[in-house]
Amino acid sequence: MTVFSLRKYQKSDLENILAIFNGTVQAINKKDYTQQQIEQWVQLDPDYEKWDARLSSTYSIVALNRMEVIGFGNITDTGELDLLYVDKKWIGYGIGKMLAQDLMAHALKSGVKELTVYSSITAKPFFESLGFELVEQKVNYRNGVMLMNYLMVYRKDK
């Protein structure tokens, strides 16, 4: 039986986190986004300092299978679920749900009444299953390429 665990993010996790981010976007999100959109999304030449600053300034966790990082996520002090990614090999094992529930519980315990997430098309059903509701469809452009996502909200008092 495989047992997964969570722990706080460490800077030494960055390489694994970026590999998970890129691998998941390229393998999983390609069913909902064009190759041109995927190319704008992935981080082929990531700014490690910027990623570390983003993860170090928020409540950030990694999911482990033994000592291997297989997923990660973070949430801000204001309740914005910023990143949530699971290694493509581990999707379907409940790791995303485990990460999301921990992030959500952390924010709610700290007094946040409403959580938000900018969800990809691919992740929208997952967030709906956690109780998030669609607020609006967002269209963003990166280097002239349209990237669509959804602003979703979770209200504690539901």
Indicate the residue type of 57: S
Residue 87 sits in a domain whose CATH number is: 3.40.630.30
The arithmetic mean of pLDDT across residues 9-33, rounded, is 95
CA 7 to chain centre: 16
Q: What is the structure's pLDDT at 142?
A: 83
Question: Domain limits at 109?
Answer: 4-155
What's the pLDDT tens digit per position in 63-93? 999 999 999 999 999 999 999 999 999 999 9
pLDDT at 53: 97
pLDDT by residue (tens digit) across 114-131?
Answer: 999 999 999 999 999 999
CB 87 within 8 A of CB 94: no
How many Cβ atoms sit within 10 Å of the Cβ of residue 44?
7
Distance of CA 70 to the CA centre of its chain: 12
Residues 81-108: what's their mean pLDDT? 97
User: How many domains does the chain contain in total?
Assistant: 1
What is the rounded CA–CA span in Å between residue 3 and residue 27?
Answer: 25
Name the CA radius of gyration of the chain, rounded.
Answer: 15
CB-CB neighbours of 48 under 10 Å: 12
Which pair of tokens denotes residue 5?
Answer: 């665990």
Write down the pLDDT at residue 44.
Answer: 86
pLDDT at 43: 85
pLDDT at residue 49 greater than cutoff 70? yes
